Amino acid sequence: MAALILEMIIEVNGVKIGDPKVVALIAGPCAVESEKQMEKTAAPLAKAGVKLLRGGLFKPRTNPQDFQGLGKEGLKILEEVAKRHNMATVTEVLDPRDVDLISAHTDILQIGARNMQNFALLKEVGRTRKPVILKRGLSATVEELLLAAEYILSEGNPKVILCERGIRTFENNVRNTLALATVPLVKELSNLPIIVDPSHSTGKPNLIGPMSKAAIACGADGLMIEVHANPSEALSDGSQALTPDQFSKLMQELEPIAKVVGRSIRI
Amino acid sequence: MAALILEMIIEVNGVKIGDPKVVALIAGPCAVESEKQMEKTAAPLAKAGVKLLRGGLFKPRTNPQDFQGLGKEGLKILEEVAKRHNMATVTEVLDPRDVDLISAHTDILQIGARNMQNFALLKEVGRTRKPVILKRGLSATVEELLLAAEYILSEGNPKVILCERGIRTFENNVRNTLALATVPLVKELSNLPIIVDPSHSTGKPNLIGPMSKAAIACGADGLMIEVHANPSEALSDGSQALTPDQFSKLMQELEPIAKVVGRSIRI
Amino acid sequence: MAALILEMIIEVNGVKIGDPKVVALIAGPCAVESEKQMEKTAAPLAKAGVKLLRGGLFKPRTNPQDFQGLGKEGLKILEEVAKRHNMATVTEVLDPRDVDLISAHTDILQIGARNMQNFALLKEVGRTRKPVILKRGLSATVEELLLAAEYILSEGNPKVILCERGIRTFENNVRNTLALATVPLVKELSNLPIIVDPSHSTGKPNLIGPMSKAAIACGADGLMIEVHANPSEALSDGSQALTPDQFSKLMQELEPIAKVVGRSIRI
Amino acid sequence: MAALILEMIIEVNGVKIGDPKVVALIAGPCAVESEKQMEKTAAPLAKAGVKLLRGGLFKPRTNPQDFQGLGKEGLKILEEVAKRHNMATVTEVLDPRDVDLISAHTDILQIGARNMQNFALLKEVGRTRKPVILKRGLSATVEELLLAAEYILSEGNPKVILCERGIRTFENNVRNTLALATVPLVKELSNLPIIVDPSHSTGKPNLIGPMSKAAIACGADGLMIEVHANPSEALSDGSQALTPDQFSKLMQELEPIAKVVGRSIRI
């Protein structure tokens, strides 16, 4: 880790991820489902001030019978809706063979928890110059997360954003156990930005607010939150998504917490 | 859980634990070691406004060769030092046979993580009328924590304060994995107050500040923090204790976070 | 661990637990429910050659509303039924205040998983001269299990029998994850006998046979198996109990495995 | 799982994996290091009767600075050495782009634990007609393992061999916690063969023997064991490898256990 000394700030669409004065917000649905669904989700988010829009194209579902995402078809939808609202895009890449295409049409690449140690994929995104959100694996240690980041860094791409999204434990009342101590721990061990995903980690809309506040309070550089225009009709993970309205309200509650720690969610 | 409807507020020495306007602070050393050590720790804490002084008499150490605490002898020290500074006392009870004696000389009883399902002990403290801090077991689910509380409640003692102190996972960079989502989860499932122990859960002084802020931000009713006049000389768990000075500084950082969520650490 | 050099063999009712030529069998119901139930369970077990009869008096149930056992009343039933069939008895003790009474009327004391680090209780059974089965805690490391044994040994009682009964993990298809590597690991680190509980660890009758064979194959000194005359009517944990018939059949399958590793289940 | 009814037997080089009368043995080094090392390892294994030779080409190491394997260069070595000794080959594939090349020159493809949910890779090996060993992920449930297998099966490749290789828990005295109950559990839920890897799961040569016996005793269809001509000089995971001599001796101890459960390790 010796090379990681200077604080890394990654600017995308005016949002300085890793800047000690900023809490970056990434919001959007689990999966891109249709042009209409994306528009109805993105429009209110943009109005609320969100600059980074997420949406999944390929859904790595545990069960091959479940909805697998629109694939490359969804890429155009994500790109056009985001452009219309002056938003940048975040999407997950699963296959090293898709990296070129996806990085040509998106602003931030995401590596999901299941692929944190998919080294072929890490190296491939390391060869692009796109920012990469690297999610912690379900049973990965913090040290392994940092070493996985090294696979990307060592290919020449310095723009890695770590993401704490909960680990798998015996506790079943929440989807995963959000390990927020990862945030200050990573700040000690690395200069990379670290964001928190309160949606996947808890799996419960009611817990997203409290855990978002806690994440900001302990120093997270950003939040990635699932928002869907109509959660009850979502094709994937709808039960844990907020509506755009709920998300706007949450933003108002988060700003005062951000202020206390010297940051802002407004850019 | 049907009976748990009204919010439970437990007042000790003027501190209303469970009051949505209050963050209760409990501070003190892992173990009572001597009159001098307790005095040097308690005096600055009292001056900083701490009303609840903790100190262990019997240390349930993994290894029988390690320091086991002063035992009943320490009880007098704890009681006298606290009285001198107008503080109330918190101490752990390990053996059902000690409950009568200890509850006669202390203000809050504590059940440690290892004893969360020591049902003989739970029933015995349930027969007292002293407030009881019940720490979550190392691998206990939230549901099991609430059911353990029922063992105390069903003996007629309604004054149970739950405590999230981290669970055991594969992650070794921290002592335990602090599962802060427990705080809002317990608020949904129960009317009992819940406090957080950032000292045992992280085992690292540097992480106590960030995790204390996070705990308050997500709704914790209080914090229990290890403070020792001279951590490097502590006979038990010194490496994770703050000095009284560090603790006072932390209090100043916590008050603004508490304010944002409508609470105060000052009584 | 320096003192643990000579192999410890603990003889009870002719069964040499820890003898490299013996696989000790302990069988019986989770809970003593009635004289009739014990008789109907013990008689066929005795006929099949079982010398060690287990039965719980105090059931440490997670929920205080569940059946809590017959208590001391059950002690007389257990003792009389066992005597009638020339069996020795194994029962769990939960409260240090019960140790004198129970050790006067039983042959082997058991410390349950929840109490592995109940040090007051460990010391109390350490003051008796009865063999003690010490079950591994749900999230205890092997090192912690051995250190818990030291609490008993250091009070002067050398007769400790360790018991691997599964640890708590994220896997929910079985009740606990039976960690059989504990058996050869303990053999390297200690001279204490180690037995395996395939009933609590799996929670599934179909898995008891395969895991019993595996336990013997990797060197376990004994097995503790739940047997109930009528599992579907059991007041506690019936779903994982074998009938006496199923158990007798299993014994016939176990003997050839035991032979291959130089042992026998017949005494 | 409705379609999984008939027992699946996969024959490779005369070894019937999944046949209730056979325990299939796969042995070889963690990594192919050189022609000489492979020859010195394979020759005595072949002489001992081993028909399936493993050797890794691409080592998915946590740290990018560690030895990463010989890559495609190693493929020729593995193939030639195996052919010379009438052995079939097993090697791990990490990147969907390598599947065509590797499946043209090897007999069994292996998907490592880190890639159990690398769905792009699973689909790609599902399009070949080569047998695939699918290792359980470090924190994967048994149900997730079976669903990952469905990704391969649903592409038309029915030859999936599951592999229990331990899960990640808090226990640090062993590398992973070998969960042998997975073996009978999978037998109930699926018709796919399941083998056990006692090397990676324990990380300790002394535990490989006992756990191999246990695996066979509870019904495993095979074992995959690390063997290296000179473990102390191995470039990867040497500390857990057996020498060819130790392995031959182990084979002699395993045959009687296999016999008791109606199987044989000799083909």
Q: For residue range A165-181, what is the model confidence (pLDDT) as tens digits?
A: 999 999 989 999 999 99
By C-alpha distance, the chain A residue nearest D1 is: A63
Mean pLDDT along residues C83-98: 97
Residue D113 lies in a domain: yes
| Domain count across chain A | 1
pLDDT band at A266; cut points 50, 70, 90: confident
Element holding D17 (H helix, E strand): strand D15-17
pLDDT at B1 over 80: no
Torsion angles phi and psi, residue A192, rounded to 5: -80, 145
Q: DSSP secondary-structure letter at A223?
A: E
User: Which chain B residues are Cβ-neighbours of C138 within 8 angstroms?
Assistant: 139
Convert the pLDDT of each residue in D92-114 to its tens digit. Answer: 999 999 999 999 999 999 999 99
pLDDT band at B236; cut points 50, 70, 90: confident
Look at C264 and B267; give whichever has higher pLDDT. C264
pLDDT band at C92; cut points 50, 70, 90: very high
* Residue from C138, C168, C180 to probe the interface with D (highest D Cβ count within 10 Å): C180
pLDDT at D4 over 60: no
Distances (CA, A) of D188 to D184, D194, D221: 6, 12, 14
Distance CA B254, CA B267 (A): 14
Structure tokens at B261: 């969520």
Residue A191 lies in a domain: yes
Mean pLDDT along residues B166-173: 94
CATH code for the domain in which residue D32 is found: 3.20.20.70
Look at B172 and B185; give whichever has higher pLDDT. B185
**SS3 at position D89:** strand
Cβ neighbours for A202, distance < 8 A, ≥ 6 positions apart: A166, A174, A175, A176, A178, A208, A211, A240, B181
Residue type, C230: N
pLDDT band at A3; cut points 50, 70, 90: very low
By C-alpha distance, the chain B residue nearest D176 is: B170
Domain of A68 in residue numbering reads as 24-260
Look at C73 and D160; give whichever has higher pLDDT. D160
User: Which chain B residues are Cβ-neighbours of D172 within 8 angstroms?
Assistant: 172
Distance from CA of D171 to the nearest CA of B (A): 8
User: Which chain C residues are Cβ-neighbours of B150 within 8 angstroms?
Assistant: 63-65
Task: Answer whether B112 touches C (CB < 8 Å).
Answer: no
Mean pLDDT along residues B1-29: 86
Structure tokens at B108: 């809050």
Residue B34 lies in a domain: yes
Mean pLDDT along residues C36-56: 97
Query: Between chains, do D207 and C185 touch, taking CB under 8 Å as contact?
Result: yes
Distance from CA of A142 to the nearest CA of D (A): 12
Query: Between chains, do D118 and A119 touch, taking CB under 8 Å as contact?
Result: no
* Pick from D115, D144, D150: CB nearest A118: D115
Query: What is the separation of C-alpha C106 from the centre of its chain, rounded to a whole number of angstroms?
Result: 14
Task: Answer whether A97 touches D (CB < 8 Å).
Answer: yes
Structure tokens at A18: 């890793």
pLDDT of residue C2: 45
pLDDT band at C5; cut points 50, 70, 90: low
> Do residues D57 and A144 make contact, with C-beta atoms less than 8 angstroms apart?
no
**SS3 at position D195:** strand
> Do residues B46 and B248 make contact, with C-beta atoms less than 8 angstroms apart?
no
Convert the pLDDT of each residue in A206-233 to its tens digit. Answer: 999 999 999 999 999 999 999 999 998 8
pLDDT of residue C6: 67
Convert the pLDDT of each residue in D18-75 to its tens digit. Answer: 999 999 999 999 999 999 999 999 999 999 999 999 999 998 777 888 888 898 889 9
Distance CA C211, CA C117 (A): 26
pLDDT at B82 over 60: yes
Neighbours of A245 (CB within 10 A): 11
Question: Between vectors from CA C117 to CA B32 and to CA D166, what angle results, nearest 5°?
Answer: 125
pLDDT of residue B5: 54
pLDDT at A59 over 90: no
Query: Between chains, do C169 and A170 touch, taking CB under 8 Å as contact?
Result: yes
pLDDT at C1 over 80: no
> Do residues A227 and A250 make contact, with C-beta atoms less than 8 angstroms apart?
no
Convert the pLDDT of each residue in A100-157 to its tens digit. Answer: 999 999 999 999 999 999 999 999 999 999 999 999 999 999 999 999 999 999 999 9
Convert the pLDDT of each residue in C109-160 to its tens digit. Answer: 999 999 999 999 999 999 999 999 999 999 999 999 999 999 999 999 999 9
By C-alpha distance, the chain A residue nearest C169 is: A170
How big is the A-D interface in CB pairs under 8 Å?
58
Query: Between chains, do D169 and B170 touch, taking CB under 8 Å as contact?
Result: yes
Distance CA A166, CA D67 (A): 30
pLDDT of residue D266: 85
Task: Answer whether B138 touches A (CB < 8 Å).
Answer: no
pLDDT band at A32; cut points 50, 70, 90: very high
* Residue from A170, A171, A174 to probe the interface with C (highest C Cβ count within 10 Å): A170
By C-alpha distance, the chain A residue nearest D95 is: A120
Residue A171 lies in a domain: yes
Mean pLDDT along residues D170-198: 96
Residue A83 lies in a domain: yes
The long-range contacts involving D259-263, CB below 8 angstroms and separated by at least 24 positions, are: D260/C256, D260/C257, D260/C260, D260/D217, D261/C213, D261/D216, D261/D217, D261/D219, D262/D20, D262/D21, D263/D20, D263/D21, D263/D22, D263/D23, D263/D216
User: Which chain A residues are Cβ-neighbours of B167 within 8 angstroms?
Assistant: 169-171, 177
By C-alpha distance, the chain B residue nearest D172 is: B170
HEC profile of chain C: CCCCCCCCCEEECCEEECCCCECEEEEECCECCCHHHHHHHHHHHHHHCCCEEECECCCCCCCCCCCCCCCHHHHHHHHHHHHHCCCEEEEECCCHHHHHHHHHHCCEEEECHHHCCCHHHHHHHHCCCCCEEEECCCCCCHHHHHHHHHHHHCCCCCCEEEEECCECCCCCCCCCECCCCHHHHHHHHCCCCEEECHHHHHCCHHHHHHHHHHHHHCCCCEEEEEECCCHHHCCCCHHHCECHHHHHHHHHHHHHHHHHCCCECCC
Query: Between chains, do C147 and B62 touch, taking CB under 8 Å as contact?
Result: yes
Structure tokens at B160: 């149970």
pLDDT band at C3; cut points 50, 70, 90: very low
Query: Between chains, do B63 and C150 touch, taking CB under 8 Å as contact?
Result: yes
pLDDT of residue D221: 98
Residue with the two structure tokens 């030859």 = D159
pLDDT of residue D206: 94
> Do residues D139 and D149 make contact, with C-beta atoms less than 8 angstroms apart?
no
pLDDT at C176 over 70: yes
Residue B83 lies in a domain: no
User: Which chain C residues are Cβ-neighbours of D183 within 8 angstroms?
Assistant: 210
**What is the average pLDDT value for chain B, to the nearest integer?**
94
Torsion angles phi and psi, residue A99, rounded to 5: -60, -45
Residue with the two structure tokens 């040499």 = C16
Residue A17 lies in a domain: no
Residue B10 lies in a domain: no
Distances (CA, A) of D46 to C56, C75, D40, D231, D238: 54, 61, 11, 18, 20
pLDDT band at A23; cut points 50, 70, 90: very high
pLDDT of residue D3: 46
* Pick from C170, C181, C201: CB nearest D202: C181
Distance CA D214, CA D218 (A): 6
* Residue from C23, C177, C221 to probe the interface with D (highest D Cβ count within 10 Å): C177
By C-alpha distance, the chain D residue nearest B168 is: D170
pTM for this entry: 0.95
pLDDT band at C169; cut points 50, 70, 90: very high
pLDDT at C72 over 70: yes
Query: Between chains, do D150 and A63 touch, taking CB under 8 Å as contact?
Result: yes
List b or e across C162-189, with b for residues whose CB sees 16 or more CB atoms inside 10 angstroms.
bbbbbbbbbbebbbbbbbbbbbbbbbee
Neighbours of C11 (CB within 10 A): 15
Torsion angles phi and psi, residue B177, rounded to 5: -100, 110
Distance CA C41, CA C53 (A): 9
